[in-house]
Structure 1
Amino acid sequence: MGVMTSWAARFRLRQYVKASLWIVPMLGLVLGALLAELALAADRTDWPPSGWHYSATTASGVLSAIVGAMVALLGFVVTIGVLVVQQATGTLSPRYMRLWYRDRLQKAVLATFTGTFAFAFSLLRSIESDSVPDLGVTLAGAAVAVSLVLLLIYLNRFTHSLRPVAIAELVTRLGATVLTDGARAIRGAAPRGDGDGAGPSGDPVMRVRTVRGGAIQAFDVPGLVAEAARHECVFVVTRLIGDFVPPGTVLVEVHGGTSEPDPAKVSDLIALGAERTIEQDPAFALRILVDIAVRALSPAVNDPTTAVQVLNYIEWFLHTVGTARLPGRYVLADGRGDARLVVPGRTWDNYLQLAVCEIRDYGSSSVQVCRRLRAMLEGLLDALPAQQHPSVRAQMTLLQQSVERQFADPARRAIAQQPDLQGIGGQDPP
């Protein structure tokens, strides 16, 4: 299996295309030049009407102005991008940048600008004293109008969507979608069920090690199941999605089988990259939310209200996780019902610790954060099944101990121990 045709290579290519800010604008540049040629060909017919004709001087001036304006607007959008990077790395989370790079509106705006630039520039060369691309000049003006409308939409969107609360909502929705879709995909790949199904026993007959290091971004679950079925063996994946593995790490243990699978083929069904992605990793969404809250609690920012607002969405995400089936290990079967793939997964405890521990530690001196955390944990106890309660009660005990250490004064301690959905200023408990 060639490197460029492997599943992992195609996955990395898709990730690169999604995160790239130059591919779509480059396509717009090429499309603009091609449309200019079509406009020149249309000008050789009896269209456009006589009222749309321009003099050579007017057409040249208009197109030159459009070329300059598009270059200036491109610079303006790039400046906004630099400001976004500064804000994200300073007050939000650098991990959020992977999502921001993928915004389709931003790419559409850049593609429209580059396309209009190429369109107008291509028409300039065809202007002569007795030959003017009337249709092209008219279309160039219309393209400028479209570009300005998209720019206004772009500014409105990013003015509102760069607020921490808006980012928290976006990340929470993405994480919840990945969690539910991933659970559905696992159920679809496991006719005999998942979780506590029979896995392999005994020592592995073969270990597949990674050649290159990186963060595990995704598994090709159907491909791994099919490859294991082909050799009548069972693959046991040893690492979680999101783990960083150095070169030489054992990624897959092979149990049983009538023949040995090709290690290169198996490795190519696991995508490694420079950093985590959200496609198969809902915990990465929670990681981003916690990062934003922790940065808001840092002494340099000192904004506990933002942390409380992010906790609202962390609670939303935890309610989604808490109602899902998370056995910690998934045994996936082939079409005949034979176990072929064992994949590790995160448990409810893992998600809850990720959501609470750091915010509790960094926000223990904030009455607002302590009260909101307690309200969140009590809400989880009220809404989630009984099997999730022990972990929640353990976190409540840790929160209680943290409050007792931080607030020596009994009156302040009593205030910090009260649950409040707004942190401070909400409804008093009954």
Structure 2
Amino acid sequence: MSDWMVTQSSSAGRRPRALSPLREHLRDTFWFAPTAAMVSVFVVWVGAQALDTAIVDALQEDRDYETLDELLRFAEDAKAVVSAVGSAMMTFIGVVFSISLVAVQMASGQFTPRVVRLFVRSRITKATFAVFLATFVLTLLVLTSFDSVEDPRAVTSVPLVQSVLTLCMVGLSLLLFVLYVNSTLRLMRISHVIARIASESFRVIASTPVPAVGQETPGLDAVTAWVPHEGRAGVLRDVHVARLVRAARRHGVVLRLIPRIGDFVVPGMPVLAVHGGPVPPRRVLRYAVSVGVERTYHQDLGFGLRQLSDIALRALSPAINDPTTAVQALDRVVQFLAALSRRPLDAALHRDRAGAVRLVQPVPDWTELVDLGFAEVRGCAVDSPQISRRMLAGLDDLLLLAPPERREPLLRHRELLRQAVDLAAPTASDRDFALRPDRQGIG
């Protein structure tokens, strides 16, 4: 452990938010927002119905039957509007669903299947579905509130507030529909998809613990116990940092995560090593490790590079043959690596309130990230001078930014690229052209 390059919390007293994994998991689902919206609109409808009843009771107490009669006439007109809104909402929902399916199909076929997560996590898409469904549910509830009694003295409730609320929901639905179409069209453009992937990746960098000035990497005691994985097989999505730190502090031990985020784990495989004491009770460690069917951005430092590399590889395939898209992906690869060029990597240390290390979480090192960003794309660059020129320019830029101890993998990829081009290019002029660095590929 003494030779690890370690990142640790910038403040020993700051602890990770306990709901962070839950929040991230809910963002990867599509059912939560519409369900919450329908439940919320039911609660709002109950309040609006009570307010309408209070208005009618107040008018009847004041014997203001003329106003009640006007409200009844308003209710007749509003009922027709609410009925039309209810039928139109189902059509709107079908249109939105169809647009989403077409967009997802095109994005997964042309870019990479991993970008489907961008559509699932899109706040605008979820908000549009949620508001449309909530409006439809509201219209059904409001229709049940209309009273068939025509005598103002016998009426019990007139859905005045409910009708106004329905019209407001219709206006919000129209606004969200416009924003949804604009957002979907943007996500169908590769430049915006790549920008979204880069944005999500930089959020992971920002959430990764940064080194604290003056603190050194402590050594770890011998392993005293191993904690096997007892759940289903799948990809390690994230760990509940706060829960593990709290459990390690209470039992006076240090926990070390064995697999990295994004690794595939199977039942019985060790996931945690315990240092310096007995293993905490299994009930304490329950639900501290999350396993799913695919990787997520949350805590996964290499997932963004994986997607950018996939997009570049697909763009360079003979079926698509779009080197400009690969250049755009390489732009973001260089940007991502430049942001990590001077950051300590290899592992992240999570400390408790007293500043003691309680959880060691492995992360990819610099060489692995460079290989992830360039190795596969470099193999396809020999047939496209646009890619080889852009990759050389990116490697040259990173060589200027990276400290001396991190230049070896960059120089290695640079030399391998030169060797591959020398073997593939038919003439010396072609080799000179393909090996001329250009940040635009072929500007």
State TM-score, norm by structure 2.
Answer: 0.83
Alignment check: 8 A CA contact 2:226 2:279 kept:
no
SS of alignment partner, residue 407 of structure 2: helix
1:304 maps to 323
In the alignment, structure 1 residue 241 sits paired with structure 2 residue 278: no
Alignment check: 8 A CA contact 2:390 2:439 kept:
yes
* 1-structure distance, mates of 2:352, 2:19: 24
Q: What is the total number of aligned residue pairs between the two structures?
A: 409
Alignment check: 8 A CA contact 1:235 1:342 kept:
yes
2:28 maps to 19
* 1-structure distance, mates of 2:381, 2:71: 66
Please give the root-mean-square deviation of Cα atoms over the aligned residues, in Å.
2.9
- Structure 1 residue 264: deviation in Å? 5.1
In the alignment, structure 1 residue 231 sits paired with structure 2 residue 251: yes
In the alignment, structure 1 residue 68 sits paired with structure 2 residue 87: yes
| Correspondences of 1:163-242 after superposition (within 5 Å) | 163-184=189-210, 187=211, 192-194=215-217, 197-201=218-222, 204-212=223-231, 213-242=233-262
Higher relative contact order (CA 8 A, sep 6+): 2
* 2-structure distance, mates of 1:379, 1:205: 46
In the alignment, structure 1 residue 77 sits paired with structure 2 residue 96: yes
2:436 maps to 418
- Structure 1 residue 55: deviation in Å? 5.4
SS of alignment partner, residue 111 of structure 2: coil
- Structure 1 residue 387: deviation in Å? 2.1
Describe the shift of the 1:291–1:391 C-alpha distance in structure 2 as closer, same or farther (beyond 3 A): same
Query: Which letter does structure 1 place at the counterpart of 2:395?
Result: L
Query: Which letter does structure 2 place at the counterpart of 1:248?
Result: G
Query: Which one of 275, 300, 305 corresponds to residue 255 of structure 1?
Result: 275
2:427 maps to 409
1:385 maps to 403
- Structure 1 residue 263: deviation in Å? 4.3
Query: Which letter does structure 2 place at the counterpart of 1:200?
Result: D
Query: Which letter does structure 2 place at the counterpart of 1:70?
Result: M
Percent identity reads 32
Query: Which letter does structure 2 place at the counterpart of 1:288?
Result: Q
Question: Can you list the C-alpha shifts for 1:37-73, whole angstroms capped at 9, x where unaligned?
Answer: 4444444427999988745653332122101111111
Alignment check: 8 A CA contact 2:261 2:299 kept:
yes
Describe the shift of the 1:144–1:376 C-alpha distance in structure 2 as closer, same or farther (beyond 3 A): same
- Structure 1 residue 88: deviation in Å? 2.5
- Structure 1 residue 268: deviation in Å? 3.7
Q: Which runs of 5+ in 2 are unaligned?
A: 1-15, 60-66
State TM-score, norm by structure 1.
Answer: 0.86
- Structure 1 residue 216: deviation in Å? 1.4
Q: Which runs of 5+ in 1 are unaligned?
A: 1-6, 426-430
Alignment check: 8 A CA contact 1:192 1:333 kept:
no
2:367 maps to 349
Question: Can you list the C-alpha shifts for 1:332-362, whole angstroms capped at 9, x where unaligned?
Answer: 5555665544332211111100000111113
Describe the shift of the 1:335–1:193 C-alpha distance in structure 2 as closer, same or farther (beyond 3 A): farther
Which range is displaced more, 332-341 or 14-23? 332-341
* 2-structure distance, mates of 1:227, 1:40: 48
